[in-house]
Chain A
Amino acid sequence: MFFSRFYRMGAHTIKSLVQAPTLTPRTSYLPVVHNQYLQVLRHELFSSTTAKLESEDGNEEKEKINVTFVEKDGEETHIKVPVGMSMLEAAHENDIDLEGACEGSLACSTCHVIVMDVDQYNKLPDPTDEENDMLDLAFGLTETSRLGCQIIAKPELDGLRLAIPAATRNFAVDGFKPKPH
């Protein structure tokens, strides 16, 4: 069963992820597939990712794009992200302080990032209903907000700039008031 297999592998997978210096296709990092809709979606995502990586395995250097993370304190970190990798994974491999409570399984909104350039935002595939469901709950939502786990590096996104939203001190008692999107 997918469920039980995931549960047994969970901790081990995460450890190996943290330690792994290079990108390898990781089937076990795939989110727990839970509803049919997501299953189809993720299958597509994953298949295309795998295909890309496999086709590039022959190359010495995998194709990488430049991404800049603007962290909560305003500090900028420039990283190279292999094509096919999610921004959540990329952030974690580079010690960037991006949360990822559900580890990319589209069950939380903690890897919320703001795409700083509208043109680049428009190059991304539209968010699915499931991603929008999570963005509903994101803190400090903007019109160019996305989940880091759903932004997958591709050549057109070279030069991508992503801001990690900072929590403000005047945290409302009832959470937050999302802007209309």
Chain B
Amino acid sequence: MASFGKFRWISRRFTAHPSAPLRICVVGSGPGGFYTAEKILKAHEKVEVDVIDRLPTPFGLVRSGVAPDHPETKIVTNQFSRVAQNERCSFFGNVCLGSSVTLPELREMYNAVVLAYGAESDRCLGIPGEELAGIYAAREFVWWYNGHPDCRNLDPDLKSTDTAVIFGQGNVALDVARILLRPTAELARTDIASHALAALEESSIRKVYLVGRRGPVQAACTAKELREVLGIKDLHIHIQPADLVTTPADEIEMKNNRIRKRVYELLSKAVTPAHAPYPGERELHFVFFHKPDKFLESNDRSGHLGGVQLEKTILKAFVGDDELVKQVAVGTGVYAEISCGLSLKSIGYKSIAIDGLPFDSDKGIVPNVGGRVLADASKDHMQYDTGLYVCGWLKRGPTGIIGTNLYCAEETLACISDDVDKGILTSNSPKPGRDGLLQLLDSRNTRVVTFDAWEKIDTEEKRRGNLKNRPREKLTTWEELLKVASE
């Protein structure tokens, strides 16, 4: 048995209800996965839920996405831990769908499978020069500073340039801008990965540009994140006053959307800084109405980013399907350049398809209706893939906050409950569920990390953090994570 936190599960076999319980597997242990698990357990007294994750650590983007200086946002892991400790729930980390176990195998072993593995890839700009060194997806940069083991060695060069250009003006863009600009003494009190803290302490980046195709009314961030970045110590904010002039279409957009209105108001107030810039002060430039045209190679360093060329845009308004005013940016043929040695693309995450799963590559989601996976979306009649569900970003696309998953999970649960009531998920012979899964993983020498084993990682991270007056010091390599889990 290669399982860590051994045999905790075995005792449960004998307490099973005489009529075999339904067994459901949730793939992915982020907010989408854990909220779904929680809701299934609450709604169905006899159902057993196993949550698997490809990482040895649970909680998905709460661990590797939420910024280190947002500890309050991570408090939700307390709730997810209580779910994992429910006697009808198990967590199995270091189990990768596709390589450790295939989707058909999971569906054979469980009455239902809920896919909630999120979005682990990125949209690309598709412009010349995108392959130059010094250009990263914001996701990679976020994973790097959050200690995700897959980006441990990203090693972005923060020392050869004083300027970073970020494409996108959503909350992820604001997060990465804040991490680049915030005094490192403040970051040193967070759970930011130690390698990232060290690199940021030596960073020469003084200027960050946040580039958006559209205007301040359309900026995709929320007021909270904006307020925070505007409040960074010793930071000079640059916004062109002319960009804040609104059109009637802008006014309609703001009237229809409270967030847009409040974000615009915050930006308007920030246009006149409290003081004149002083030498050495860091700068944050909001660049509106510009779209990326191409990345420019450095003259000094071959193959490395030297700048970006932007095209000025104007907005064209139209009325969308939902009868709301929408405005799209169109190019004007007027170009501008910004010299920079680092660029982060924060233009959206993208889910990854797996074998045997219907996938809509345009939208980057699994085709579904309310969380029920559609076997074939192209046909006129909708046919569901029985017993297969989705939740979270894989279902909706990569937008929304942690709480959005609550409602998303509720909707997916409604589909599952419906199918349970109809008897669709009941099998003639009991499904092997977690016993079957663990046997299979054992036969493949997969070293399963149980929740107990994760708690060893958790304890060790907190212990190391405590020594440095930090909430935790994350373990950031696969080797270390698996080693501590098996101690």
Contact = CB atoms under 8 A, between A and B. Distances in A.
Interface of A: 1, 3-4, 6-8, 10-11, 14, 31-32, 34-35, 99, 101-103, 105-110, 129-130, 132-134, 136-137, 139, 141, 167, 169, 171, 173-181
Q: What is the size category of the interface that chain B forms with chain A?
A: 35 or more
B222 interface: yes
Q: Which 5 A-B pairs have the closest CB atoms?
A: A107-B72, A133-B224, A7-B471, A105-B72, A167-B407
B404 A175 contact: yes
Contacts of A1: 189, 469
A180 B255 contact: yes
Contacts of B324: 177
Nearest to B31: A101
Given A1-B469, A31-B72, A174 B399 contact: yes
Contacts of A179: 258
Which of B324, B402, B471 has the largest number of chain A CB atoms within 10 A? Answer: B471
Given A101-B402, A167-B410, A132 B262 contact: yes
B470 interface: yes
A178 B469 CA distance: 41
B224 A6 contact: no
B302 interface: no
B223 A4 contact: no
A108 B71 contact: no
Contact of A139 (B78, B255, B407): B407
B69 to A, nearest CB: 8
Interface string B397-413: 10111111011101100
Interface of B: 69-73, 75-76, 78-79, 81, 189-190, 222-224, 227-228, 231, 255-259, 261-262, 322, 324, 370, 396-397, 399-404, 406-408, 410-411, 414, 462, 465-466, 469-472
A101 B79 contact: yes
B259 to A, nearest CB: 5
B222 A4 contact: no
A177 B75 CA distance: 26
Contacts of B259: 136-137, 178
A48 B123 CA distance: 50
A149 to B, nearest CB: 11
A134 B396 contact: no
Contact of B227 (A4, A31, A129, A180): A129
Which of A6, A11, A167, A181 has the largest number of chain B CB atoms within 10 A? Answer: A167
A101 B190 CA distance: 20
Given A1-B189, A105-B72, A106-B72, A136 B258 contact: yes
A180 to B, nearest CB: 6
A133 B227 contact: yes
B228 A32 contact: no
A110 B403 contact: yes
Nearest to A135: B258
A134 to B, nearest CB: 7
Contact of A101 (B256, B403, B408): B403
B251 to A, nearest CB: 12
What does DSSP make chain B's interface, helix, strand, loop or mixed? helix
B123 to A, nearest CB: 16
B70 A107 contact: yes
A31 B72 CA distance: 8
Contacts of A139: 403-404, 406-407
Given A3-B471, A7-B465, A107 B223 contact: no
A126 to B, nearest CB: 15
Given A3-B470, A108-B76, A110-B403, 12 more contacts: A1-B469, A3-B190, A31-B72, A101-B76, A101-B79, A101-B406, A109-B401, A132-B262, A133-B222, A137-B403, A169-B370, A177-B257
A7 B403 contact: no
Given A4-B469, A32-B71, A178-B257, A137 B370 contact: no
B450 to A, nearest CB: 18
B81 A7 contact: no
Which of B76, B261, B324, B462 has the largest number of chain A CB atoms within 10 A? Answer: B76
Given A133-B224, A137-B401, A177-B257, A99 B471 contact: no
A34 B71 contact: yes
B370 A171 contact: yes
A106 B228 CA distance: 14
B421 to A, nearest CB: 15
A99 B462 CA distance: 27
Nearest to B257: A178
A171 B407 contact: yes
B469 A34 contact: no
B57 to A, nearest CB: 16
B411 A7 contact: no
10 contacts: A1-B469, A3-B189, A8-B462, A101-B402, A101-B403, A108-B403, A141-B258, A173-B397, A175-B400, A180-B257
A31 B73 CA distance: 11
Which of B75, B222, B255, B406 has the largest number of chain A CB atoms within 10 A? Answer: B75
B470 A136 contact: no
Contacts of A129: 223, 227
A178 B256 CA distance: 8
A17 B189 CA distance: 27
Contact of B466 (A4, A103, A130, A180): A4
Contact of B224 (A7, A110, A130, A178): A130
